[in-house]
Amino acid sequence: MLVMKFGGSSLANGQQIQKACEIVKSRRDRQPVVVCSAHKGVTDMLINAARAAAAGEPDASKITERQRGVLRELGADEWMLDPYLREIEDLLRGISLVREVSPRVLDHMQSFGERMSCRAVAFHFTRAGLKAEAYDAFELGFITDDHFGQARPVKGYEAGMKAAFAHKVPAGVIPVVTGFIGKTERGEITTVGRNGSDFSATVIAAGVDAVECEIWTDTDGVMTADPNLVKDARNIPTMSFAEASELALYGGRVLHPSTLLPAVKKNIPVRVLNTNHPEHPGTVITEKGGVETPVTSIAHKSGQAVLTIESAVMLGQPGFLARVFDVLGRLKVDVDMISTSEVTVSITCAPITNLVEVKEALEQHGRVTIAEKKSLLCIVGKDLKAQAGLGAKIFGALSQEQINVEMISHGAKAINLSLLVDDQDVRRAVPALHRALFS
Ligand code: ASP
Ligand code: MG
């Protein structure tokens, strides 16, 4: 089987869905399993509608208009999905009565995006001559824990998934399966987190032992830098699981950071392709990778925070870092980069929502300062350590642009070198690094 995942922009309207249909047709003899996101923008609309309902204003009209619009473009009966739309209206009324939306209800609400888009897509495929049937992923064994908003498949889900595919999908039928959502063993609908349909796709690929997982998106595979910042960013033909994970974690926008875990476990190649340019070979991500160039890509992540703890007692005090990390773990601060010296330790993380609490707890251990609006730049490559002169190139390029680097981290494994700069410097830093490292 071949898993083919189409993202929201690849299913944004009738024209895009037709492109996806042609692409699936070209692979019809490889037993495709199609995994779909919601049409672009619909998940945001569902979340906004839930929030508005909690504030006393239940209104499903935007969602209804958007979904019926896609159906009209496909030439389908525009009332085809009204049972779902009615459920959405009921749920919004319920939320407006209790004036509260819990993570569980929010997941249920968001699930309608994928459930409706899969029906629209399967309808179109079938009419275009591909025998397709829509399924909610949980009908096919996508069973998760109850961590609403960030659910993960239960251990050993694969056996149930394989059995469900065998029993529920008739031979010759192409299953069109919801990305992003699952169900707990108790039957509550969950989501795996925003932009999580990539992850759903590899979970399904691992569950059915697919030969490959294709991620259809709107760029020519993974690029050497964000094409919005660097005009001559190039496609990366092949990369390793390790490099791609590093990139996804440090702000490469093409793949959701968890995407590669299930693929790594079963060693399933993941191929990133462009729905608008299907003949482009994209990027294939495998265990070995294969790029011979020393630097693979530059990623960046803005709006980060930096916590610095300064303490004279750190000198010769075993256990100091353990205590600091205990606080961070307890208060769920997800650390990206750390750097330490004799008396200070600095860590970077995503914007902190419980800032006051974190600060107070850390102040037990030293003087704490917090900086915000920082950007993490991450240079990913095969064996950066072996590249004599790489550091000089990087710092030369940044100093020419008069960009101040505040933190550096270069792991012993040396597939990434990370730097911290001000948010406002990113627009100059990324192109400068790209020029220095790729031309
Ligand atoms: N529809 C979901 C979102 O917008 C999942 C996805 O597109 O991957 O976050
Ligand atoms: Mg998406």
- Report the CATH number that the domain containing residue 344 is assigned in CATH: 3.30.2130.10
Residue 46 forms part of a structural domain? yes
- Do 75 and 198 lie in one domain? The reply is yes
282 CB near ligand 1 (under 6 Å): no
Give the per-residue pLDDT at 433: 96
Q: Which of 183, 217, 251 is the last residue of a domain?
A: 217
**Atom number of ligand 1 nearest to Cα 8:** 7
Give the per-residue pLDDT at 121: 98
**Residue among 43, 198, 204 whose CB has most ligand 1 atoms within 8 A, to mutate:** 43
96 CB near ligand 1 (under 6 Å): no
Q: How far does the centroid of ligand 2 lie from the alpha carbon of residue 121, in Å?
A: 16
Q: pLDDT per residue over 331-390, tens digit each? A: 989 898 898 887 889 999 988 888 889 999 999 989 999 999 999 999 988 778 777 888
Specify the pTM.
Answer: 0.89
- Do 77 and 209 lie in one domain? The reply is yes
Give the per-residue pLDDT at 311: 84
3-state percent breakdown (helix, strand, coil) of the chain, nearest 5? 40, 25, 35
Residue 174 forms part of a structural domain? yes
196 CB near ligand 1 (under 6 Å): yes
Give the per-residue pLDDT at 358: 92
Kind and range of the H or E element at 44? helix 42-54
Residue 306 forms part of a structural domain? yes
**Atom number of ligand 1 nearest to Cα 38:** 1
Residue with tokens 């033909």: 237
- Do 72 and 194 lie in one domain? The reply is yes
Residue 24 forms part of a structural domain? yes
- Do 41 and 169 lie in one domain? The reply is yes
Give the per-residue pLDDT at 184: 98
Q: How far does the centroid of ligand 2 lie from the alpha carbon of residue 6, in Å?
A: 8
Q: Is 212 exposed, middle or buried (0-12, 13-18, 19+ CB in 10 A)?
A: middle
Q: Which of 184, 199, 217 is the last residue of a domain?
A: 217
283 CB near ligand 1 (under 6 Å): no
Q: How many domains does the chain have?
A: 2
Residues of the chain with pLDDT below 70 are 291-292, 314-316, 412-413
Q: pLDDT per residue over 36-71, tens digit each? A: 999 999 999 999 999 999 999 999 999 999 999 999
Give the per-residue pLDDT at 382: 79
The enclosing domain of 52 has a CATH number of 3.40.1160.10
42 CB near ligand 1 (under 6 Å): no
- Do 212 and 317 lie in one domain? The reply is no
**Atom number of ligand 1 nearest to Cα 114:** 1
180 CB near ligand 1 (under 6 Å): yes
Ligand lying nearest the CA atom of residue 35: 1
Q: pLDDT per residue over 326-338, tens digit each? A: 999 999 898 988 9
- Do 304 and 211 lie in one domain? The reply is no
Residue 237 forms part of a structural domain? no
- Do 51 and 193 lie in one domain? The reply is yes
101 CB near ligand 1 (under 6 Å): no
Give the per-residue pLDDT at 351: 87
36 CB near ligand 1 (under 6 Å): no
Give the per-residue pLDDT at 292: 66
Domain assignment of residue 316, given as a range: 297-438
Q: How far does the centroid of ligand 1 lie from the alpha carbon of residue 258, in Å?
A: 14
**DSSP SS3 for 182:** strand
Burial 109-140 (b: 16+ CB within 10 A, else e): bbbbbbbbbbbbbbbbbbeeebebbbbbbbeb
Ligand lying nearest the CA atom of residue 178: 1
Q: Parallel, antiparallel, or unpaired for β 174-178 and 32-36?
A: parallel
User: pLDDT exceeding 70 applies to what percent of the chain?
Assistant: 98
Residue 65 forms part of a structural domain? yes
Q: How far does the centroid of ligand 2 lie from the alpha carbon of residue 401, in Å?
A: 34
117 CB near ligand 1 (under 6 Å): no
- Do 56 and 163 lie in one domain? The reply is yes
43 CB near ligand 1 (under 6 Å): yes
Residue 405 forms part of a structural domain? yes
- Do 9 and 138 lie in one domain? The reply is yes
- Do 55 and 160 lie in one domain? The reply is yes
**Atom number of ligand 1 nearest to Cα 180:** 5
221 CB near ligand 1 (under 6 Å): no
Q: Parallel, antiparallel, or unpaired for β 367-381 and 295-310?
A: antiparallel
The string of DSSP codes covering 57-91 is ----HHHHHHHHHHHHHTTS-TTTTHHHHHHHHHH
Instruction: Measure the CA–CA gap between 178 and 155, rounded to whole angstroms.
Output: 20
- Do 58 and 179 lie in one domain? The reply is yes
Residue 213 forms part of a structural domain? yes
Q: Which of 161, 196, 217 is the last residue of a domain?
A: 217
Q: How far does the centroid of ligand 1 lie from the alpha carbon of residue 193, in Å?
A: 8
Give the per-residue pLDDT at 165: 98
**Residue among 40, 189, 197 whose CB has most ligand 1 atoms within 8 A, to mutate:** 197
User: Is residue 258 within 8 Å of residue 201, measured between CB atoms?
Assistant: no
First to last CA, the chain: 40
Q: How many CB atoms lie within 10 A of CB 315?
A: 9
- Do 208 and 315 lie in one domain? The reply is no
